[in-house]
Structure 1
Amino acid sequence: MISLGDPDAVAPAKRDRLGLLRDHDFRDLFLSTTVAQVGYQITSLALPLAAVIALDVSELEVGVLSSMTMIAFVLIGLPAGAWVDRMRRRRVLIVSDIVRAAVLFTVPLAWWADALTIWQLYAVALVIGVFTVFFDVSYQSYLPHLVGREHLVEGNAKLETVRATAQLGGPVLAGQLIQWLTAPVAMAFDAAAMGASALLLLRIRRREPKPQVAHGSRITAEIKDGLRFVLRHRILASIIACTGTWNFWMGAFMAMIVVFLPRDLGMSPGEIGLFFGLFGVGGVFGAFAVGTATRWLGEGRTVWVSVAVTSPWILLIPAAEPGWRIWMGAFAMAFVGVGGVVYNVTQVSFRQRLTPDNLLGRMYATVRFVVFGAYALGGLVGGGLGQLLGARTTLWIAAAGICLA
């Protein structure tokens, strides 16, 4: 596997435009990410639409479901980072994929048996969230080991390109599958994707060293070390504050947009998939533009400029009406996607470089505890506001909050 300290790594002259993709192990991680991200896009749309369309639940219940997907980051986010720093990360990735595949497949089974309820969707969202915590913390902690710190921007950019491309095609595919098969049945495709992702991760050949754990060290002490490192670091603390605020309002926004589009605007699942697919168009552009942006502006300035310039476009979405104004809001999603991807690639690479190896898992866990905890709380607040004020008014409030973040 390529590591810049490895004399047998691919020579710079041979690392043409494919770059890290010439390496077998990174290529397997790249392919695993590709299939998993397509599957994730299916469930991201199918899970809330199963509640809204198949079960016809209230706005508050949709908000609760949205928060359940992220609440695991609050419940176990901090100890997960310390646990991951004690384990081989590839093994955690594989187990997480297998468990999520099994849990996802219970939804179409229950639907075929005419036994699906909102409570099962809550449980599925929670279990998926728990293992996503372990997967995400392990994933970003694993990448520096796999590619070396010198290649982090390239590695993150390539993987972010996959995520952005999945956001482009995944929702469109998801919308069509939901329209043809119903939302619960479409989730079987994500279960299959998770299984394929686990198989690809098993193919990675580079041996991961056994983590070094201080003799007699305690989980609580390690959690405190991670919190102390992040919160006392001026740059990391600023990134967390910005991302947490943005995520709170985005949680409220996303909880209600899946109600607003089918109920207020009368959009079909296929049209909703296309709507979210335009977010991916911006994401793909952002993934390709991030290298140029960081060269022109520097990493630090790119972090804040990326969201300051693109976030105001989100105000066009609650202004949408049936007809052509729907697609005005959809194109606004593309601009938000540009900023979101540029911001994510830059700040993740920035954090990875600022953090020692032995604190990576705890740093990621701390960041996710704050920012995804904020998203979960935002989903609950969005559901409550939607129940009281309606989906459109809630979207206006949340969009204003995103712009001020």
Structure 2
Amino acid sequence: MALGRHSDFNRLWFGQTASNFGDKISLLALPTLAVVVLDGGAMEVGVLGALRFLPFLLLAPIAGLVADRFSRRTIMIVADLGRFLALGTLPLAFALDSVTMVHLFIVAGVTGCLTTFFEVSYQSWLPKLIGTENLIEGNTKLQISRSVAEAVGAGAGGALIQLLGAARAITADAFTFLISFVALMFIRQRDVRERAEGRKASAKTELKEGMRTLFGNPVLRGLFTANVVVNLGAAMGDALLIVYAYKVLGLSPGQVGIAFAVMSVFVIVGAVLSETVSKHLSVGRLLVITSVVLGIGYILVPTGGAIGGFIGLIVVQAVIGFVSPMFDIHVLSLVQGVTPNDQMGRVSGTALSAVYGALSLGYFLGGALGEGIGLTGALAVAGAVAIIGGLTLLGGPVAKIKEMPKGEPGEGPDADGPSPGLVKAEETGEAPKVNA
């Protein structure tokens, strides 16, 4: 692969792999510390969970503005160092017998805010670091790291907590951010934000500029709409799956764990095969097909469960796991490939805020529908929402894109319509192809 000898990317990948595993440790260790050590309950655990995701909803556009004004690599370095120091205060406070719930909330909030700035900066810097022609490969490798961490990180974190205790396990998480910090320090390529001479645009003006790019570019607008709607449907479905498995299928926690483990394995398989599948289907068709199949998967949960019970649920989970990373990888890669790099932070930040808002709303709507119309009907609605999200792509240029754009980031469609890199169907008799 083209990135096999790209030392800077490999350093980034190594650091991200380490911190992904660390995230899974703290995902379990922080609530464990709250419940076991501080005698917290459902409310405290809920607040900790909210503090992980609310910063994306509230701060991502601001993080995008900062990423477009300053060096993205520097922002990532500061975020890693900050997360290391914030998490490091917990085992120290535990050793001094002074850890409190407020301290836990502050650490969760600080790490959530710093993660928001890191993620927006990383997504904005990657196209410059590796080039648009390598985006699918780069995002695939990073997605594989996240998927492997998802599959085995929680189990490893549980074992670490059992062995060392929650507070000491958090120390391990803190050091994963230190590893990522060191990896970033050794990346040779620098990311200097060059601002036009005499340019003194206000933050408000620059945020509006990013919004105009996102919603004025037909490709970006189509990807944004589909991604938000598909994630809304997927969150609704995810909120219902576990309840359905326990209350309708009557499965044991062990069986549910196996079903979700199988899904995690197929997430890895889907990520590995993502680039190969896109070459056979085209990027546009892959996005439509994977979102539709994802929606069908949620609709078929009751059918699969009724026919095969435990086995049926496993099959459906495998299908959902297989297509999800393919959709995510290609949406992100295409956004990075067609967005002007000097606006990548603002576009990415606005999109992330909306996606996390859709996820939050989806979980709420899924639960409300499950109570209101029943689990089977609610799963059907969730699947239909995801399908509709994918079908929205058919009304725009995204479904006709054959392959990723090449060249400098942002050389895809511009805000006024298709760029020369998109060959019009009426002129060639074929579907448009990026930089064909």
Fold agreement, TM-score > 0.5 = yes
Q: Say yes or no: does 1:175 pair with 2:158.
A: yes
Alpha-carbon distance in structure 1 between the residues aligned to 2:129 and 2:182: 18
Q: Is the 8 A contact 2:299 2:382 kept in 1?
A: no
**Identity in percent:** 31
**1:219 and 1:329 mapped to 2: Cα distance?**
49
Q: Quick one: structure 1 residues 375 and 287, their matched pair in 2 at CA, closer, same or farther if it must change by over 3 Å? A: same
Match for residue 382 of structure 2? 401
Q: Deviations over 1:352-402 (max 9, x none)?
A: 1211111111110111111112223445667x859x959xx7898478425
Alignment CA distance shift 1:182-1:258 (3 Å): farther
Cα gap change, 1:144 to 1:328, in 2 (>3 Å): same
Paired residues of 1:172 and 1:273 also in contact (CA < 8 A): no
The worse-fitting range, judged by mean Cα deviation, of 306-315 and 164-173 is 306-315
How far the C-alpha of 1:293 sits from its partner, in A, is 1.6
The amino acid of 2:60's aligned partner reads: G
SS of 2:195's equivalent? Answer: coil
In the alignment, structure 1 residue 154 sits paired with structure 2 residue 129: no
Q: Could you state the TM-score of these two structures normalised by the residue count of structure 1?
A: 0.79
Three-state SS of the structure 2 residue aligned to 1:156 is: helix
- Distance (Å, rounded) in 2 between the aligned partners of 1:45 and 1:394: 28
CA shift for structure 1 position 168: 2.6
**2:327 counterpart residue number:** 343
* Alignment CA distance shift 1:272-1:34 (3 Å): farther
2:283 counterpart of 1:302? no
After superposition, the C-alpha distances for 1:304-332 in whole angstroms (9 at most, x for unaligned) are 211321344356879999xx966764664
Q: Is the 8 A contact 1:247 1:374 kept in 2?
A: yes
Rounded to whole Å, the distance in 2 between the matches of 1:199 and 1:238 is 38
Partner in structure 1 of residue 356 of structure 2: 372
Cα distance, 1:62–1:336 mapped onto 2, change above 3 Å: farther
Q: Verify the 8 A CA contact 1:278 1:333 in the aligned structure 2.
A: yes
Equivalents in 1 of 2:94, 2:34: separation in Å?
A: 12
**Are 2:11 and 1:28 equivalent residues in the alignment?**
yes
Partner of 2:396: none
1:86 counterpart (38, 62, 69): 69
Unaligned stretches of 5+ residues in structure 1? 1-16
The equivalent residue for 2:188 is 205
Q: Read off the aligned partner of 2:11 and give its amino acid letter.
A: D
Q: TM-score under structure 2 normalisation?
A: 0.74
Larger gyration radius, structure 1 or structure 2: 2
Segments of 5+ residues of structure 2 without an aligned counterpart are 387-436
**Cα offset for 1:86?**
0.9
CA drift of 1:96 comes to 0.7
Cα 1:49–1:274 change in 2 (3 A) is: farther
CA RMSD between the two structures: 3.8
Deviations, residues 50-103 of structure 1 (Å, cap 9, x unaligned): 567775623x66554433222112222112111111111111111111111222
1:218 aligns with 2:202: yes
Output the CA distance in 1 between the equivalents of 2:189 and 2:365.
45
Aligned to 1:3: none
CA distance 1:101–1:131, shift in 2 (3 Å): same
Distance in 1, matches of 2:179 and 2:245, equals 32
- Residue of structure 2 equivalent to 1:11: none
Match of 2:115 in 1: 132
Shift of the 402–195 alpha-carbon distance from structure 1 to 2, 3 Å rule, reads farther
Distance 1:329 1:36, change over 3 A: farther
Q: Is the alpha carbon distance of 1:395 and 1:133 closer, same or farther for their aligned partners in structure 2, counting shifts above 3 Å? A: farther
Are the counterparts in 1 of residues 301 and 379 from structure 2 also a CA contact under 8 Å? no
The 1:203–1:350 alpha-carbon spacing in structure 2 relative to 1, beyond 3 Å, is same
How many angstroms apart in 2 are the aligned matches of 1:285 and 1:220?
A: 43
1:282 aligns with 2:263: no
Corresponding residue of 1:353: 337
Contact 2:29 2:170 in 1 (8 A): yes
TM superposition shift of 1:105: 3.3
Displacement of 1:403 after TM fit?
5.0
Structure 1 residues 255 and 311 mapped into 2: Cα distance closer, same or farther (>3 Å)? closer
| Higher relative contact order (CA closer than 8 Å, sequence separation 6+) | 1
Q: Give me the whole-angstrom Cα distance separating, in 1, the residues matched to 2:344 and 2:199.
A: 19
Do the aligned residues in 2 keep the contact of 1:253 with 1:395 (CA within 8 Å)? Answer: no
Q: How big is each residue's C-alpha offset from its partner over 1:338-359, in whole Å with a ceiling of 9 and x where there is no partner?
A: 2221011111111112111111
Number of aligned pairs? 379
Distance 1:124 1:380, change over 3 A: farther
CA-to-aligned-CA distance 1:134-186 (integer Å, 9 cap, x gap): 11111011111111122222222222222222223223312333444455543
